[in-house]
Chains A and B, each alone.
Chain A
Amino acid sequence: MSDALLAITLVWGFIFLYAIMASMDFGAGFWAMTYIKKEETNATKIANSYLSPTWEVTNTFVVGLVIAIYSLFPGAVFPIGVALIVPASLILVLLCIRSAFLVFSHSVDKYEKALTYISGVTGLIIPGLLISVLPITHLGFVEGMRGNEELNLSKLFTSPNEYAFVGFGIMSTLFYHLCSCPITQNKPMK
């Protein structure tokens, strides 16, 4: 295997790991919001307690992933940086609010309800934004000469493929979380 192939395998492996971790995290947020009215299920509580220890690691993993990309493929930084500045900034803002309220709600019980909605809504939007990175890399909408690249947003927003990916990302996040949940939930009852 050539070094470059080894490196891209590593990066893709990280993306895969992150996707799994993030599905648990984001899915938990969304379902906790959906189940907020169904008190008898305890599901909200379960989903919420499942959130807490993973967030630090998941958050750092984002940085780790970005660092892996620019330290292994610095030549890709400029076009990636320009293409992703809008979606990545949105992701950052949402992640930031979400993580902060996750922490605050542990200390301020008043925030718990706000957190449920924040993590629920962001749990739906962030995966959608995250996965839209993929179509950006394969649709060829990053235009212009080297050092002057630009993402053609109007082409992106009119591309059915982009929406298909967003829908797929959201659905798979929700589904994977539901699959993984019963494990943590069944075991203690035995």
Chain B
Amino acid sequence: MKAYKIYRRDAMITGPLMLVMALLVMLTLRNEANWIYQGMMKNSALLFVSLIFFIISGIALYLPYFSKQDVKGMPRLAVIAIIIQYLIGSYVYGIAHLPYIIYPNVTILSGFTDPTSFRAVFATYIVGFAILVPGFYYFWSIFMKDQRRKFKRRQMSN
């Protein structure tokens, strides 16, 4: 349990720092790349939702601090919340970035590949992922079982 506490202590430092950095990013964007700042602000409601998820993950991590009982905290919820937060953030940035890939030189239309090539490439994505995803799932389950067994062994020998 000690390791978990150390992780949590450091998360308490890096989490707020990350939030500060995110605010700095928005602030500097407004000055230097107003076009994308305006685009992101169109979805300011979503940015707010993303902030809420960030706070949820913080609460999930620090639950033990808020109660006197021996509560373990909810690391799983914290991860899910943080990934959702991340997903929303990158969606807002991504949408605002369109149609440019590189501002102002290349847009998605000017850079786009030949339609026949696109169809062929897209087909390989579908086939490739249909083969690989189950394969990796299988491997991951073997591997995780292995890790857990090793961990148990280490715990017992301590």
Contacts and interface: CB of A to CB of B under 8 A. Distances in A.
A16 to B, nearest CB: 5
Contact of B24 (A6, A168, A175): A168
Contacts of A6: 122
Contact of B121 (A35, A71, A174, A182): A71
Contact of A41 (B6, B73, B93, B152): B6
Interface residues of A, number: 67
Nearest to A169: B21
B29 A161 contact: yes
A4 B78 contact: no
B21 A43 contact: no
Contacts of A16: 86-87, 90
Contact of B14 (A40, A43, A178, A185): A178
Nearest to A77: B111
A72 B105 CA distance: 17
Given A41-B6, A175-B14, A182-B4, A5 B108 contact: yes
Contacts of A7: 108, 112-113, 118, 122
B122 to A, nearest CB: 8
Interface in B14-28: 14-15, 17-18, 21-22, 24-25, 27-28
A99 to B, nearest CB: 19
B116 to A, nearest CB: 11
B125 A4 contact: no
Nearest to B152: A188
A49 B147 contact: yes
Contact of A137 (B8, B28, B90, B102): B102
B113 A179 contact: no
B44 to A, nearest CB: 18
Q: Among B8, B78, B106, B118, find the residue whose CB has the most chain A CB atoms closer than 10 A.
A: B106
Nearest to A131: B25
Interface in B51-107: 57, 61, 72-73, 75-76, 78-79, 82-83, 86-87, 90, 93-94, 97-98, 100-106
B49 interface: no
Interface in A1-56: 3-8, 10, 12, 15-16, 19-20, 31, 34-35, 38, 40-43, 46, 49, 53
Nearest to A180: B79
B82 A179 contact: yes
A187 interface: yes
A49 B115 CA distance: 44
Interface of B: 1-4, 6-8, 10-11, 14-15, 17-18, 21-22, 24-25, 27-29, 31-33, 36, 57, 61, 72-73, 75-76, 78-79, 82-83, 86-87, 90, 93-94, 97-98, 100-106, 108-113, 115, 117-118, 121-122, 125, 136, 143, 147-148, 150-152, 155
25 contacts: A8-B98, A12-B90, A15-B90, A20-B83, A31-B7, A31-B10, A46-B3, A49-B147, A76-B106, A149-B105, A159-B28, A159-B32, A160-B24, A160-B31, A160-B32, A161-B33, A167-B21, A168-B21, A174-B14, A175-B17, A179-B61, A182-B8, A185-B3, A186-B72, A186-B75
